[in-house]
C-alpha cells in the first residue's frame, strides 16, 4: 500500500474522529440543557434525602458503578447513594454531562473518594490534575500519602519527584512529616539520597514524641547509620538513642 493511500486513510480517520467528537459535545450539551430543565429525565439520584434528576445513560457512560446498577435492574428509577454529600454528587453528575467540574482545595478529597467509589476515571483524573497543580512543601506528604489509597499513579510519581527534589526543605519544615507512621517514614527516607538529611528527617520525627518513637525506630537505623553517612550529626543523634547507650544499660 502506497504512502499516499495511507496518508489519505489517516486523514479520513482523523476527520471521522473529529466529527464524532463534535457530535458527542453537542449531545452532552443537549443532555445538560435537558437535565437543567428537568426534561425527559428517567432516573432520580437520591443523596441523604436530597434528589437530583438525570438521564440514566449519562452517569452510566462514565461510571462502572451506575452501569452495574442499571444492568442489574433496568426498571429502577431511583438510585439511593448513601454516605455521599449532595454537593459532591452534583459535581460527579456535572462532570458526566459536561466533561468538567469545578474542583477546589475544600472539595477535592471528598470528590476523589466518591469518584473512586463509583470507578469514575474521568473525575479521578480531574482530581489528580488539580492536586498535582497544588503540590507544595506544606502539602506534598499528605498528597503522597493519599496516592497510596487511590489509583493515581501519575500523581504519585509527581509527588515522589517533588519530595525528592525538595527533600531537605521537607525534612526541616514540613509539619506533615511528623505525622507519618514508621512504614511511611521508612518509605520516604529510603527514596532520599544517602546523607545528612536522612538522619535529620528521622531525628525530627523522633523528637516530636520521643517516648513513643524511640522503641519502634530500629528498622530505620541502617538507613541513617551506614559507614558512608555516619557524620558527626547522625553519630550524635544515635548516641542519644537507646542503642547508643546499650553498653551503659548492660552495666
Q: Rounded distance, CA 211 to CA 244, Å? A: 16
pLDDT at 33: 55
pLDDT at 99: 86
Identify which of 246, 243, 195 has the alpha carbon closest to the alpha carbon of residue 219.
243
If one compares 178 and 207, the residue with the highest pLDDT of the two is 178
Mean pLDDT of the chain: 75
Q: Average of pLDDT values for 7-26? A: 44
Q: Average of pLDDT values for 161-184? A: 90
pLDDT reading at 50 higher than 80: yes
Q: Residue-wise over 51-80: b if at least 16 C-beta within 10 A, else e? A: ebbbbbebbbebbebbbebbeeeeeeeebe
pLDDT reading at 237 higher than 90: no
Grid coordinates 502506497 are at which residue?
A: 2
- Which residue ranges form the domains of the chain, and what is each CATH number? 35-133 (3.30.710.10), 135-244 (1.25.40)
Per DSSP, the three-state class of 226 is coil
Identify which of 22, 96, 91 has the alpha carbon closest to the alpha carbon of residue 58.
96
pLDDT at 97: 83
If one compares 198 and 23, the residue with the highest pLDDT of the two is 198
pLDDT at 241: 56
pLDDT reading at 68 higher than 70: yes
pLDDT at 24: 45
CB count within 10 Å of CB 235 equals: 12
Percent over 90 (pLDDT), the chain:
25
C-alpha cell at 81: 447513594
Q: Average of pLDDT values for 220-238? A: 53
What's the pLDDT tens digit per position in 118-162? Answer: 989 999 999 999 999 999 999 999 999 999 888 899 999 999 999
pLDDT at 175: 92
pLDDT reading at 86 higher than 80: yes
Amino acid at each position: 500500500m502506497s504512502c499516499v493511500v495511507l496518508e489519505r486513510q489517516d486523514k479520513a480517520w482523523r476527520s471521522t474522529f473529529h466529527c464524532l467528537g463534535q457530535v458527542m459535545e453537542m449531545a452532552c450539551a443537549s443532555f445538560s440543557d435537558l437535565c437543567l430543565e428537568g426534561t425527559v429525565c428517567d432516573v432520580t439520584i437520591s443523596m441523604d434525602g436530597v434528589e437530583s434528576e438525570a438521564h440514566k445513560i449519562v452517569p452510566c457512560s462514565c461510571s462502572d458503578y451506575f452501569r452495574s446498577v442499571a444492568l442489574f435492574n433496568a426498571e429502577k428509577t431511583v438510585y439511593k447513594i448513601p454516605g455521599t454529600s449532595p454537593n459532591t454528587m452534583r459535581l460527579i453528575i456535572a462532570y458526566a454531562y459536561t466533561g468538567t467540574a469545578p474542583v477546589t482545595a475544600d472539595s477535592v478529597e471528598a470528590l476523589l473518594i466518591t469518584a473512586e467509589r463509583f470507578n469514575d476515571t474521568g473525575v479521578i483524573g480531574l482530581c489528580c490534575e488539580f492536586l498535582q497543580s497544588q503540590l507544595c512543601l506544606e502539602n506534598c506528604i499528605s498528597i503522597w500519602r493519599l496516592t497510596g489509597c487511590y489509583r493515581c499513579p501519575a500523581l504519585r510519581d509527581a509527588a515522589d519527584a517533588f519530595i525528592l527534589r525538595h527533600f531537605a526543605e521537607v525534612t526541616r519544615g514540613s509539619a506533615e512529616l511528623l505525622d507519618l507512621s514508621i512504614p511511611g517514614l521508612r518509605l520516604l527516607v529510603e527514596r532520599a539520597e544517602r546523607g545528612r538529611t536522612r538522619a535529620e528527617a528521622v531525628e525530627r520525627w523522633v523528637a516530636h514524641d520521643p517516648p513513643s518513637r524511640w522503641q519502634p525506630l530500629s528498622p530505620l537505623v541502617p538507613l541513617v547509620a551506614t559507614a558512608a553517612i555516619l557524620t558527626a550529626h547522625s553519630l550524635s543523634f544515635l548516641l542519644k538513642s537507646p542503642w547508643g547507650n546499650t553498653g551503659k544499660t548492660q552495666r
